[in-house]
């Protein structure tokens, strides 16, 4: 892998988040650095989406803080954050029948501001994002009329058009066919090699093993592990997280799991 270029660092220090008496996240500290391609694993309800929302500044933790390049996220403006930090949600329902081109163009809002026309650089970023996600042929289509997998690629293209060096993705491969899963994971890896910091939640341990250079594991609101995927993900972890018994198969450099 080539040496990652410099870029912003996202850091969480001692996050705690509760809803009423119910603790959702506790004692979470982590860093997303240039060159990181991180898979965030955890069972349903473990707190992955909540953690992403806190890292994006959409939710405020009761304790701890999030720092973007050393500055507290709570003190930064939305546009300032969006120039460095992009988010790909699991799904998105726009309130207007926007075309794919318009949705991807929204990724340029941190640069243009609301209601301003896109300039040459903006159009270049939008076109490149459409190419990267293989959706040039969808550019004129109405977003709400697309399939789930097509919409997912549009949302990823919007984040790429934003050209933020940190990208947080909530289950990006869910709903994508096998080919698009592979191409997306390869693309995220290449972005990390170019110095982007990537953090993606996933329900597939194999995704982390094949395509990430770090695995973060959330279990019942706490960070159970943070390390190299092969050091962290094994049959014991799968059983602990998902309460299923699996057999671990090694076909180096691959590791996969089958029911036992």
Ligand X SMILES: Nc1ncnc2c1ncn2[C@@H]1O[C@H](COP(=O)(O)OP(=O)(O)OP(=O)(O)O)[C@@H](O)[C@H]1O
Binding site for ligand X (CB under 6 A): 19, 24, 42, 44-50
Q: Shortest distance, CB of residue 20 to ligand X, whole angstroms?
A: 9
**Alpha helices, DSSP H, located in 83-196:** 100-105, 109-112, 120-132, 148-162, 178-193
Residue closer to ligand X by CB (options 40, 109) is 40
68 pairs with which residues across the strands?
A: 10, 71
Residue closer to ligand X by CB (options 138, 241) is 241
Contact 107, 161 (CB under 8 A): yes
Q: Shortest distance, CB of residue 223 to ligand X, whole angstroms?
A: 13
Q: Shortest distance, CB of residue 116 to ligand X, whole angstroms?
A: 34
Pairing of strands 10-19, 22-32: antiparallel
Q: Shortest distance, CB of residue 90 to ligand X, whole angstroms?
A: 7
Q: Return the closest-CA partner of residue 105 out of 124, 77, 91.
A: 124
Residue closer to ligand X by CB (options 25, 164) is 25
Is residue 39 within a helix (H) or strand (E), and if so which, with residue range?
strand 37-41
CA distances from 129 to 1, 105, 163 (A): 23, 10, 9
Residue closer to ligand X by CB (options 52, 130) is 52
Residue closer to ligand X by CB (options 53, 183) is 53
3-state SS, residue 52: helix
- Tell me how crowded residue 29 is: count the other CB atoms within 10 A of its CB: 12
Q: Shortest distance, CB of residue 153 to ligand X, whole angstroms?
A: 20
Q: Shortest distance, CB of residue 45 to ligand X, whole angstroms?
A: 4
Residue closer to ligand X by CB (options 21, 179) is 21
């Amino acid at each position: 892998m080539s040496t990652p270029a410099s870029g912003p660092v996202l850091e969480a220090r001692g996050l705690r988040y509760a809803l009423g008496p119910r603790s959702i996240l506790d004692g979470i500290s982590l860093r997303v650095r240039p060159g990181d391609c991180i898979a965030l694993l955890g069972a349903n309800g473990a707190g992955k989406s909540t953690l992403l929302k806190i890292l994006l500044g959409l939710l405020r933790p009761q304790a701890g803080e999030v720092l973007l390049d050393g500055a507290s996220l709570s003190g930064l403006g939305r546009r300032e954050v969006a120039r460095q930090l992009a988010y790909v949600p699991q799904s998105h329902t726009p309130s207007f029948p926007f075309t794919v081109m318009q949705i991807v163009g929204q990724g340029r809002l941190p640069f243009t501001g609301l209601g301003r026309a896109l300039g040459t650089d903006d159009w270049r970023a939008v076109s490149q994002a459409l190419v990267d996600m293989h959706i040039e042929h969808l550019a004129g289509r109405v977003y709400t009329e697309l399939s789930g997998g097509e919409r997912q690629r549009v949302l990823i293209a919007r984040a790429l058009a934003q050209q933020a060096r940190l990208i947080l993705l909530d289950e990006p491969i869910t709903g994508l066919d096998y080919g698009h899963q592979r191409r997306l994971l390869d693309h995220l890896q290449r972005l990390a090699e170019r110095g982007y910091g990537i953090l993606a939640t996933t329900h597939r341990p194999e995704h982390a093993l094949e395509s990430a250079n770090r695995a973060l594991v959330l279990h019942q609101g706490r960070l159970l592990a943070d390390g190299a995927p092969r050091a962290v993900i094994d049959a014991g972890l799968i059983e602990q997280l998902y309460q299923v018994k699996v057999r671990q198969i090694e076909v180096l450099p691959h590791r996969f799991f089958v029911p036992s």
